[in-house]
Structure 1
Amino acid sequence: MSFLIGETMRGGYGGADILNGCTIAVDKGEIAVIVGPNGAGKSTAMKAIFGMLPLREGRVTLAGQDITALSPQDRVKAGMGFVPQTSNVFVSMSVQENLEMGAYIRHDDFSDTMEQVFDLFPILKEKRRQPAGELSGGQRQQVAVGRALMTRPSLLMLDEPTAGVSPIVMDELFDRIIEVAATGIAILMVEQNARQALNIADRGYVLVQGSNRFTDTGEALLANPEVRATFLGG
């Protein structure tokens, strides 16, 4: 029994189902990556797991508890942190204010957690008084991840965290994601840079039309000739 399981999920946005029975799972301290062609249902699967999309069939369990009926807000309280691909920072607020917003569900002293975020992303400490809207794309992504970490999640979900950033920034973000997983947090990530993402993945899921086409370790998927030829550009 994995820490998180989105099991045989079916659902869509009102018309035909986009998810067609896919199952996604990840354990604490693991990195699970969802890859696949455009329109495969990758981000839809993430939204379903986070409660932003109602399931017609299937269920979501976290730490053995069925959370299928919970709202996204209640899933955050249950231990989920979600970083959307776009519009994921408050541009007019400072870096520190963005992080403080991440602690909105907490009623304790969160200064230690903020220092941990600053240790993970030193540039954010340097720019803590600067409006998030003035940061580079990669720095904004750091703010968004940091804000999610302020809730002290047991599961961190990242939707295309390296979209639009340079290869150097992508490598830095992946290094930080590995560090977060090393603290025992489960990481579930949708990523367009499939080869690089699978290189750091404990588990990989290749979705096609909302179904599991391949499920294996990241290393095994990278070595699979069919996966390489069809989804990784050879």
Structure 2
Amino acid sequence: MTSTGAPPFLIGEAMVGGYGGADILNGCTIAVEKGEIAVIVGPNGAGKSTAMKAMFGMLDLRTGGVRLGGEDITRLRPQERVAKGMAFVPQTENVFPSMTVEENLEMGAFLRRDDFSPTMEQVYSLFPVLKDKRRQPAGELSGGQRQQVAVGRALMTEPSVLLLDEPTAGVSPIVMDELFDRIIDVARTGVTVLMVEQNARQALEIADRGYVLVQGANRFTGSGKELLTDPEVRSTFLGG
């Protein structure tokens, strides 16, 4: 619950589940308010990406549930969650390499029946390099530019929630900073952002809320600032 008593805009509550027999998630709860940036961090194998996939419906939960805007969406399939306003950007294979940048963005608007050209202009203003390269196949772009295409394509659905699985994986520190700046810009438009990140320190610096998962359970929860200054979080998860 928030301080006003209202439920969070998006919450995966007491989630338990995994693939096959073993549970990877062991009761973790992830919540984020409208227009906030929430970040899930933790060691490898902690269940970070699994928690995000569970919130997008890519994993059946044994117990626990997911609610969006107060509505129980636990049983909805991923494509049904897209129709409810969720967009998910996987870590890898998140662009169509043989299609141009513009065609990739158009693919993001496949559910829409309205004129999506204003949204495309918004994406181009957010990521100017994509406008310059809009006729180029996405497979020819740098890693950071491909990530921009993937995020841009997700934004073409006009989501209320943007889920990002390790958006800065494999990019240079300069590109990482730029991507984080753009993620801040997205949140300022009112989009709720939930992301999993290996670059924990940098991600927590832009986070309104942070979750440290260990073995599929919440170890620490707080604002990005609180987690950055917590001595135990610093020594155990942020390298001192």
For Structure 1 versus Structure 2, the TM-score category normalised by the shorter chain is over 0.9
Runs of 4+ off more than 2 Å: none
**Secondary structure of the residue that 2:23 maps to in structure 1?**
coil
- Deviation (angstroms), 1:97: 0.2
**Secondary structure of the residue that 1:220 maps to in structure 2?**
helix
* Cα deviation 1:92-136 (Å, max 9, x = unaligned): 000000000000010000000000000000000000000000000
- Deviation (angstroms), 1:22: 0.2
- Give the alignment's Cα RMSD to 1 decimal: 0.3
**Secondary structure of the residue that 1:29 maps to in structure 2?**
coil
Equivalent position of 1:218 in the other structure: 224
Q: 1:191 aligns with which of 197, 216, 233?
A: 197
- For residues 218 and 39 of structure 1, the distance between their equivalents in structure 2, rounded to whole angstroms, comes to 21
Letter in 1 for 2:175: V
Q: 2:165 aligns with which of 150, 156, 159?
A: 159
- For residues 219 and 141 of structure 1, the distance between their equivalents in structure 2, rounded to whole angstroms, comes to 26
Q: 1:177 aligns with which of 170, 178, 183?
A: 183
Equivalent position of 2:89 in the other structure: 83
- For residues 71 and 29 of structure 1, the distance between their equivalents in structure 2, rounded to whole angstroms, comes to 24
- For residues 236 and 25 of structure 2, the distance between their equivalents in structure 1, rounded to whole angstroms, comes to 21
Q: State how 1:70-149 maps to structure 2 within 5 Å.
A: 70-149=76-155
- For residues 63 and 93 of structure 1, the distance between their equivalents in structure 2, rounded to whole angstroms, comes to 35
- Deviation (angstroms), 1:143: 0.1
- Deviation (angstroms), 1:217: 0.3
- Deviation (angstroms), 1:16: 1.4
Letter in 1 for 2:49: S
- Deviation (angstroms), 1:19: 0.1
Equivalent position of 2:16 in the other structure: 10
- For residues 104 and 74 of structure 1, the distance between their equivalents in structure 2, rounded to whole angstroms, comes to 14
Equivalent position of 2:66 in the other structure: 60
- For residues 224 and 21 of structure 2, the distance between their equivalents in structure 1, rounded to whole angstroms, comes to 33
User: How many correspondences in the alignment?
Assistant: 234
* Cα deviation 1:182-218 (Å, max 9, x = unaligned): 0110000000000000000000000000000000000
* Cα deviation 1:139-188 (Å, max 9, x = unaligned): 00000000000000000000000000000000000000000000110000
**Secondary structure of the residue that 1:18 maps to in structure 2?**
strand
Letter in 2 for 1:72: P
Equivalent position of 2:40 in the other structure: 34
Identity of aligned residues (%): 80
Letter in 1 for 2:88: F
